């Protein structure tokens, strides 16, 4: 288990602070430090590498038995990159060369730098990564690698990128490979594009391009969807390929230490903006394939996240990581700064709840950003765990408590795995691509997914996120929710229908599969494979004139809030669960062999994401119960709390974080879940709690202090 803080982003902190800072970090209970290894700093002149500062820091950390996590920052390019490689500039969507500049919060190195589709840029980057990895692979205190920080590649591009000749060539080659098919083997040079590929593209896109040179990425939203959506998919594929490139280099030099990377946010949250296509930093489910672990950045006090919001982010990352290791790769240390905007000081108790919330969901590392307050630009004077926001002493005192528990029970916590969830929420990147191609922001798609995840968090019903092209995630589920399913790929129809027919329950929002993954609209019923497979047919879109929707499920009425539009449903023998005042059917329930399909003629998740309300949570809880998807363990408090449970070898652990006042928490579950245990032990305060057995159940209760956490073992 790693409990660390980011320390060195050269050239700060300066050398005169190092020994004392490292000693203070050790005294605070940290067992590792993270160092940013910047390409722009390490190779100040072409071919000349300078490592004296890193060598000293690694050595000094080793003297204190502090591990080192090395972050290879290959995306901050040397100042000489464009001089040495004149054709390396990115080109924006208006055909303008992108002028790279020093990064706003780092100052040492150009960003966005050279385009990595340029083979010479990639060759130079390879040399940097190989040099760093080979130098430190055998360091005795190396704890692991973080090889791509927040998946950054186009920061400060000042527009949509990239349209340089190298990227256009790569895009067309990707399209050719996708549409060429296997009718005839490709002949000629490896970079020669085929007539077969262009013919296949024309058929799929419904175009009549006569030359590959005419095939361009989408320029701006609100133009044809297809070219834009294909470019978005290419950028997502390209990010995964670049991750593979980095991972293979590091692993070749160092096959023994964990290799991770992390995003600024989970891909589920990546709705895009004016300078970023949706998910243009990559799809976590694909990014993780060459890695040993996946992480994410989390700054709860900066972005006013609740404990539930934080939980959603960790769960999204955990779901993508799958069987690989989960890290909380950046966790807010002190008060955020954005220029002269001072955000709230970071309180000690919430911070430790974040730590244990992460560990409870399976994380094996928590790395604070950062130890000292920042020095540069808009982040200066902020973020320090030991920083000057007035609460450092309190934070470090509670950090020592966490460290003591971690040290004492390290093996147990390292072995811990959360129980598999029985509820899944579908994340479909195609829906994000579609909406970004239309509006330049995929907020409807994102918020539709986040709404359901947040409601499940508030009800503390464990869940997972299932990506639409990685449907192995359906295994073990009882309930699958499909938010904003407008462009779910046709290949998903069979597995989802099979899931229902085998006894699963599906809740699906309006217009399932109405668009192809190329953004081409299809008429209802038979032309939409997913809707057809689930027995859903609608009568077309209508304006949403009344957002209030009364839905009756299991004889209980729920006053819900609709959003976006309505698509009246054809009941066709299904049970009618909701109608609007005009008599339009807006929700149905039908059996499909052993399973159940709940179809909606509107959208519910997005409205809940705007404002929490009880009826939506109650409806979801009833749906989960009816699907047989409730967890075996029940954990109840008088006020909001969060919990997760799982096995660590033969032992069971239960993590509880209390975001409210002191409260009594009651836990119960079937006897089989407790084995022959007669008591449970709370590890934080090291107390024993008596276990009561009655009517085939085991029960116990404990008081959890205001803002505190508890870790229970039996």
Residue for token digits 């390879």? 126
The CATH number assigned to the domain with range 423-626 reads 3.40.50.880
Specify the pTM.
Answer: 0.97
Can you give 307-362 as a three-state secondary structure string? HHHHHHHHHHHHHHHCCCEEEEEEEECCCCEECCEECCCCCHHHHHHHHHHHHHCC
Query: What whole-number distance in Å separates Cα of residue 349 and Cα of residue 398?
Result: 7
Q: Specify the pLDDT at position 182.
A: 45
Q: Which residues on adjacent β-strands are paired with residue 599?
A: 508, 588
pLDDT of residue 563 exceeding 80: yes
Cα separation, 294 vs 34, whole angstroms: 16
pLDDT at 185 over 70: no
Q: How far apart are CA 543 and CA 688, in angstroms?
A: 59
Contact 587, 598 (CB under 8 A): yes
pLDDT band at residue 2 under the 50/70/90 scheme: very high
How many CB atoms within 10 Å of residue 557?
Answer: 12
CA distance 151 to 264: 7
Q: Would strands 641-648 and 416-418 be described as parallel, antiparallel, or unpaired? A: antiparallel
Return the CA Rg of the chain.
26
Size of the chain, expressed as the number of residues it contains: 714
> Would you state the torsion angle of the CA atoms of residues 282, 286, 287, 291, taken in this order, to the nearest 10 degrees?
180
d(CA 385, CA 354): 14
Distance CA 328, CA 314 (A): 8
Taking the C-alpha atoms of residue 278 and residue 216, their distance in angstroms, rounded to an integer, is 18
With pLDDT > 70 as the criterion, what percentage of the chain qualifies? 99
- For residue 524, the model assigns a pLDDT of 87
- Only one residue has tokens 């991750």, namely 243
Lookup: tokens for 289 = 């394939």
Residue 189 has pLDDT above 70, yes or no: no
Whole-angstrom distance, CA of residue 274 vs CA of residue 270: 13
pLDDT of residue 183: 38
Alpha-carbon span 435 to 429, nearest angstrom: 10
Q: How many CA atoms lie within 13 A of 582 on its CB side?
A: 12
β-bridge mates for residue 332, sequence order: 369
d(Cα 591, Cα 180) in Å, to the nearest integer?
A: 41
Query: How does pLDDT run across 653-663, given as a tens digit for each residue?
Result: 999 999 999 99
Q: Do residues 82 and 40 lie in contact, with contact meaning Cβ atoms separated by under 8 Å?
A: no
Say whether the peptide bond before residue 180 is cis (omega within 30 degrees of 0).
Answer: no
pLDDT confidence of residue 331: 99
Query: Positive or negative CA dihedral for 456, 354, 373, 10?
Result: negative
Give the distance from CA 181 to its chain's centroid. 33
CB of 139 closer than 8 Å to CB of 254 = no
What phi, psi does 113 have (nearest 5°)?
A: 75, -155
- Top-tier CATH class for 634-713: mainly beta
How is residue 325 written in tokens? 């290791």
Tens-place pLDDT, residues 275-292: 999 999 999 999 999 999
Closest CA to 584 of 619, 555, 545: 545
Domain residue spans of the chain: 2-161+237-418, 169-214, 423-626, 634-713
The 3 state secondary structure assigned to 566-590 is ECCECCCCCEEEEECCCCCEEEEEE
* pLDDT tens-digit map of 415-463: 999 999 999 999 999 999 999 999 999 999 999 999 999 999 999 999 9
Interior CA angle at 270 toward 538 and 326, to 5°?
115
Band (525; pLDDT cuts 50, 70, 90): confident
Nearest Cα to 655, choosing from 356, 446, 420? 356
What pLDDT is stored for residue 181 in this prediction?
78
- Is 70 exceeded by the pLDDT of residue 187? no
Q: CATH says 2-161+237-418 is which class?
A: alpha beta
Structure confidence by residue, pLDDT tens digits, 105-123: 888 999 999 999 999 999 9
- Rounded Cα distance between 570 and 580, Å, is 14
Render pLDDT for 278-330 as a digit per residue (tens, 0 to 9).
999 999 999 999 999 999 999 999 999 999 999 999 999 999 999 999 999 99
The Cα 581–Cα 536 span in angstroms is: 22
For residue 459, count other CB atoms closer than 10 A to its CB: 14
- Tokens representing 197 are 């590929």
| Average pLDDT rounded to a whole number, residues 668-694 | 96
Dist. CA 276–CA 266, nearest whole Å: 15
> What value does the mean pLDDT take over residues 480-504?
98
Residue 14 is encoded by which pair of tokens?
A: 């300066």
Helix (H) or strand (E) segment spanning residue 425: strand 423-427
Are 322 and 332 within 8 A, CB to CB? no
Q: ω into residue 112 within 30 of 0, thus cis? A: yes
Report the 10 Å Cβ neighbour count for 490: 15
Q: How far apart are CA 432 and CA 277, in angstroms?
A: 9
Helix (H) or strand (E) holding 619: helix 614-626
pLDDT tens-digit map of 235-271: 999 999 999 999 999 999 999 999 999 999 999 999 9
Q: Please report, rounded to a whole number, the percentage of residues in the chain having pLDDT higher than 90.
A: 97
Residue given tokens 């959003």 in the structure block:
563
As a whole number of angstroms, the distance between CA 131 and CA 17 comes to 27
Rounded CA gap, 314 and 292, in Å?
Answer: 17
Q: Each residue of 351-392: pLDDT tens digit?
A: 999 999 999 999 999 999 999 999 999 999 999 999 999 999
Token reading at 678: 């007669």
| pLDDT, tens digit, 9 for 90 and up, residues 591-620 | 999 999 999 999 999 999 999 999 999 999
List 366's β-bridge partners, or say none: 3, 328
pLDDT given at position 184: 42
Find tokens 């205190």 and name the residue: 141
Q: Is pLDDT of 629 > 70?
A: yes
């Amino acid at each position: 288990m790693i409990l660390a803080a980011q320390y060195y982003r050269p050239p700060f902190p300066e050398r005169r602070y190092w020994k004392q800072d490292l000693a203070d970090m050790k005294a605070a209970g940290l067992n590792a430090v993270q160092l940013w290894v910047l390409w722009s700093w390490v190779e100040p002149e072409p071919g000349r590498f300078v490592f004296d500062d890193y060598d000293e820091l690694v050595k000094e950390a080793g003297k204190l038995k502090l591990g080192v996590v090395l972050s290879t920052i290959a995306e901050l390019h040397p100042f000489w990159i464009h001089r040495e490689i004149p054709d390396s500039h990115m080109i924006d969507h208006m055909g303008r060369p992108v002028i790279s500049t020093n990064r706003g919060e780092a100052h040492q190195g150009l960003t966005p730098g050279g385009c990595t589709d340029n083979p010479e840029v990639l060759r130079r980057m390879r040399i940097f990564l190989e040099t760093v990895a080979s130098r430190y692979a055998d360091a005795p205190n190396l704890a692991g690698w973080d090889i791509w920080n927040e998946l950054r590649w186009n920061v400060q591009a000042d527009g949509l990128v990239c349209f340089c000749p190298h990227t256009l060539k790569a895009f067309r080659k990707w399209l050719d490979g996708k549409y060429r098919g296997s009718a005839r083997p490709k002949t000629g040079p490896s970079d020669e594009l085929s007539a077969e590929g262009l013919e296949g593209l024309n058929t799929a896109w419904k175009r009549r391009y006569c030359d590959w040179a005419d095939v361009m990425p989408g320029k701006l939203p609100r133009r044809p969807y297809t070219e834009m959506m294909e470019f978005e998919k290419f950028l997502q594929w390209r990010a995964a390929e670049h991750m593979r490139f980095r991972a293979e280099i590091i692993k070749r030099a160092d096959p023994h230490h964990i290799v991770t990377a992390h995003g600024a946010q989970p891909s589920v949250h990546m709705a895009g903006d004016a300078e970023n296509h949706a998910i243009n930093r990559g799809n976590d489910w694909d990014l993780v394939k060459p890695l040993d672990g996946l992480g994410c950045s989390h700054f709860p006090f900066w972005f006013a996240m609740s404990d539930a919001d934080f939980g959603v982010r960790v769960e999204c990352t955990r779901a993508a990581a799958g069987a690989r290791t989960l890290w909380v790769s950046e966790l807010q240390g002190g008060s955020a700064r954005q220029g002269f905007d001072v955000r709230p000081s970071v309180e000690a108790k919430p911070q430790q709840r974040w730590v244990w919330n992460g560990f409870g969901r399976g994380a094996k590392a928590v790395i604070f950003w950062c130890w000292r307050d920042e020095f540069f630009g808009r982040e200066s004077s902020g973020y320090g765990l030991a920083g000057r926001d007035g609460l450092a002493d309190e934070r470090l005192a509670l950090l020592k408590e966490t460290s003591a528990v971690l040290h004492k029970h390290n093996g147990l916590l390292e072995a811990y795995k959360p129980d598999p969830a029985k509820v899944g929420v579908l994340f479909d990147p195609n829906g994000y691509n579609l909406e970004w191609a239309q509006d330049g922001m995929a907020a409807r798609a994102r918020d539709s997914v986040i709404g359901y995840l947040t409601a499940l968090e508030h009800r503390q019903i464990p869940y997972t996120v299932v990506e639409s092209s990685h449907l192995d995630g359906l295994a073990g589920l009882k309930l699958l929710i499909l938010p904003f399913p407008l462009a779910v790929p046709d290949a998903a129809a069979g597995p989802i229908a099979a899931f229902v027919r085998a006894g699963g329950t599906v809740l699906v929002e309006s217009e399932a599969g109405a668009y192809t993954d190329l953004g081409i609209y299809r008429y209802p019923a038979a032309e939409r494979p997913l809707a057809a497979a689930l027995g859903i047919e609608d009568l077309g879109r209508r304006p949403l004139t009344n957002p209030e929707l009364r839905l009756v499920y299991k004889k209980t009425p729920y006053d819900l809030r609709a959003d976006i539009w309505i698509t009246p449903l054809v009941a066709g023998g299904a049970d009618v669960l909701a109608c609007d005042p005009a008599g339009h059917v807006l929700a149905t329930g039908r059996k499909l062999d052993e399973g159940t399909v709940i179809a909606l003629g509107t959208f519910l998740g997005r409205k809940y994401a705007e404002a929490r309300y009880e009826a939506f949570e109650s409806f979801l809880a009833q749906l989960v119960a009816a699907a047989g998807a409730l967890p075996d363990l029940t954990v109840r408090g008088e006020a909001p709390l969060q919990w997760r449970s799982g096995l660590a070898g033969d032992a069971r652990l239960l993590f509880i974080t209390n975001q409210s006042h002191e409260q009594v928490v009651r836990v119960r579950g079937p006897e089989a879940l407790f084995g022959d245990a007669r008591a449970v032990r709370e590890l934080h305060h090291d107390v024993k709690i008596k276990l009561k057995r009655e009517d085939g159940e085991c029960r116990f209760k404990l008081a959890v202090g205001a803002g505190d956490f508890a870790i229970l073992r039996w």
